[in-house]
Chains A and B, each alone.
Chain A
Amino acid sequence: MTLAAINLAVTLTVSALSLGAPVPSPAAAAKMKSALDGKSVSIADVTGKSGTLVIFTCNHCPFARGWERRIAELGNAYAKKGIGVILINANDPVKYQEDGFAQMQDRAKTLGLQVPYVVDDTSNVARAFGASVTPEAFLFDKSGKLAYHGAIDDNHTDPTAVKSHYLKDALDAVLGGHPSPVAETKGIGCGIKFR
């Protein structure tokens, strides 16, 4: 790929789904292999009756690692409350070996994940969402509209120092049928290493 093409690819990825948008339809049906059990699962497969949470994350990124326990805890807890949850790794493991499938399996086990942690093996699901950073959350309400997009909370290093629990607050709002108190945030993080 030429430098110009790389720059274009990066530029194209910065326009994420707008609030109110549905899960892009080709991406919703894309089957992705889960590190939990090796089975293929799509976003459509996990859609919850109360909402759906899609988080682009990975193994190697220090920001994703900083939030991984909170991501696992939120995912496991809200999956039991009717939110469909799927964690997607769209990174090319050629660029970061730590993002390979075997390493994802290890991480899923270590974290006690009970929700799918899947491989977007073309990175096209991430492209369809306009996701560009890890971790990056997209929460859809029960009618399938994007209700929250952005960071997990406001402190990736120290869970005890968090002042704004953006994603948790948005999840509670979606469960209660209310608009998210903060609908869009941004967090500095690692760029997705697109295939």
Chain B
Amino acid sequence: MSGRAWAAAVFSIVFSSAAAAEQNKLAGPSVSVADLGTIRAAVEAPGATAVLVNVWATWCEPCREELPEILRFYRAHRAAGLRLILISADDESERAEVTKFLASVEAGDARAFIKRGDDTAFVNAFDPSWSGALPASFLYDGRGKKQRFWPGSITAQDLEKALRALPKNQKGNP
């Protein structure tokens, strides 16, 4: 192989790897359209030390603003068993837009859903005191018991404090 061909091959490999890595980063999570039962099962599934649920929508500016901070918090605690579930209230037809936004904030490692079904049942199942206004966040312990509910925007400080206050040694059985 000529020197020029080697250079082209090396360039091709490097470029492909970089493109694949970029593709991974941009792929975002797989977004499923799910009913309340499926979403609750994901929240309550064993194996996490804590579960953070954030309900958001692409049209909700405060939601879009807080997601990067929530994702940074998640990554800082993921190894310790934190699970993040992002539930979009967008219409099912907006799935591509939801996926695109989640990719733009590099949320590829979170569980992501678009909710389907009755709003009243959905809202009340998460918290009867929740009005339905977005954003909203909920923190569950490792046994699937809700420990905190935040109507409106949250900060990493709120989350850190709440996570520290969770009962210890409650990891569900995988």
A157 and B91: CB pair below 8 A?
A: yes
A186 and B152: CB pair below 8 A?
A: no
Q: List B contacts of A133 (CB < 8 A).
A: 131-133
> What's the nearest-Cβ distance from chain A to residue B132, in Å?
4
B160 within 8 A of A: no
Other-chain contact of A189, B62, B93, B133, B152 (Cβ < 8 Å): B133
Within 8 A of B (CB), among A141-195: 150-151, 154, 157, 184-192
- Nearest chain-A residue to B89 (Cβ)? A188
Other-chain contact of B119, A11, A15, A184, A187 (Cβ < 8 Å): A187
Task: Please encode chain B, from 145 to 174, with 1 for each CB lying within 8 Å of some chain A CB and 0 for all others.
Answer: 000001111010010000000000000000
Given A132-B133, A186-B120, A188-B132, A10-B152 contact (CB < 8 Å): yes
B73 within 8 A of A: no
B59 and A150: CB pair below 8 A?
A: no
A185 and B129: CB pair below 8 A?
A: no
B134 and A188: CB pair below 8 A?
A: yes
B118 within 8 A of A: yes
Other-chain contact of B134, A151, A184, A190 (Cβ < 8 Å): A190
Q: List B contacts of A188 (CB < 8 A).
A: 55, 57, 89, 119, 122-123, 132-134
> What's the nearest-Cβ distance from chain B to residue A24, in Å?
17
A191 and B62: CB pair below 8 A?
A: yes
Task: Please encode chain A, from 3 to 34, with 1 for each CB lying within 8 Å of some chain B CB and 0 for all others.
Answer: 10011001101111000000000000000000
Instruction: Give Cα A132 to B134, complex, Å.
Output: 10
Instruction: Give Cα A127 to B76, complex, Å.
Output: 37
> What's the nearest-Cβ distance from chain B to residue A92, in Å?
13
A191 and B129: CB pair below 8 A?
A: no
Instruction: Give Cα A133 to B136, complex, Å.
Output: 12
Q: List B contacts of A185 (CB < 8 A).
A: 119-120
Task: Please encode chain A, from 99 to 128, with 1 for each CB lying within 8 Å of some chain B CB and 0 for all others.
Answer: 000000000000000000000000000000
Instruction: Give Cα A7 to B119, complex, Å.
Output: 24
Task: Please encode chain B, from 53 to 68, with 1 for each CB lying within 8 Å of some chain A CB and 0 for all others.
Answer: 0010101101000000
B60 and A132: CB pair below 8 A?
A: no
The 4 A-B residue pairs with the shortest CB-CB distance in the complex, in nearest-first order: A191-B133, A10-B152, A133-B133, A186-B123
Q: Can you list 29 A-B pairs, Cβ within 8 angstroms, ordered by A?
A: A6-B153, A7-B150, A10-B152, A11-B151, A14-B129, A14-B130, A14-B131, A16-B131, A62-B59, A132-B131, A133-B133, A136-B131, A154-B119, A157-B93, A184-B120, A185-B120, A186-B124, A187-B120, A187-B132, A188-B89, A188-B122, A188-B123, A188-B133, A189-B133, A190-B133, A191-B62, A191-B133, A191-B151, A191-B152
Q: A7-B158, A186-B119, A186-B130 are in contact. List 20 more A-B contacts (CB 8 A).
A: A6-B152, A7-B150, A14-B129, A14-B130, A15-B129, A16-B131, A132-B151, A133-B133, A136-B131, A154-B119, A187-B119, A187-B120, A188-B55, A188-B122, A188-B123, A188-B134, A190-B60, A191-B62, A191-B133, A191-B134
